[in-house]
Amino acid sequence: MAKMDKNEVYKILLPIAKEIARQKEGALFVIGPKNKFKRKYEPLFPQLLNKHKLNDPGMDKVLVKLAVIDGAVLISNNGEVLAFGAKIKGSKPVAGYGTRHAAASGITSKVKDSTAILVSEEVNWVKVFKGGSIILETDSEDTPKSLEKSIISFLNDGDTALLTAGGISAAILGGAAVAPIMIVGGTYLAIKTATGLIKKNWKERRNNYSKIKKN
């Protein structure tokens, strides 16, 4: 298979995470530089995978099965499946949440350029962590194709166009003491800030985003 980039990794993993959420299961995927994961985890099970990539035929179905067992699935930035059933070392507790949230927060705090995609079995939502914090939450509904690329750009490159379309100015983004969280629902986009929730339905959001892209 051709070498993958991080955008392609997100494009494959986000729908898998949503599928697991629809099954009302929990899971944790961690994406990052391959050489940065050393001594950051210990396997809970014998590792049966050998240099498989996310875009290998049938790997999506395999990942759904592997992800719902205990531990995290570790994936390199170029899409290589490094480990499954991985117990993350150095968890960082997240108030009000359990061990998966703590693992996601801990690993993304310690491993530079890493991202954790967590599926919460309690609420059947997908949460994305960077730098120890949640930056995006999304429900289990399929993301409209027209928005998928923009969401991936936000995750990978920090593109703030979607946040701006949601009603937050660049000045607020730059000066916020606590980073806002993007919330993507089946019919709406919302931005959670320290002062409240800004919410727009998809029709309003599409209009705003179209204006931004033209400018």
Under 8 Å between Cβ of 209 and 162: yes
Q: What is the pLDDT of residue 32?
A: 96
Question: Domains in the chain, ordered, with CATH?
Answer: 6-138 (3.40.1700.10), 160-214 (no CATH)
Q: pTM for the whole thing?
A: 0.83
Under 8 Å between Cβ of 195 and 148: no
Q: What is the DSSP string of 95-139?
A: TT--HHHHHHHHHHHHSTT-EEEEEETTTTEEEEEETTEEEEEE-
Distance CA 186, CA 205 (A): 12
pLDDT tens, N- to C-terminus, the chain (215 residues): 567 899 999 999 999 999 999 999 999 999 999 999 999 999 999 887 777 899 999 999 999 999 999 999 999 999 999 999 999 998 999 999 999 999 999 999 999 999 999 999 988 899 999 999 998 888 888 877 767 877 888 888 776 665 555 444 444 444 444 566 777 776 666 667 666 666 666 544 444 444 434 43
Tokens 């998809």 map to which residue? 202
Pick from 51, 48, 76, 73: nearest CA to 63:
73
Distance CA 68, CA 163 (A): 31
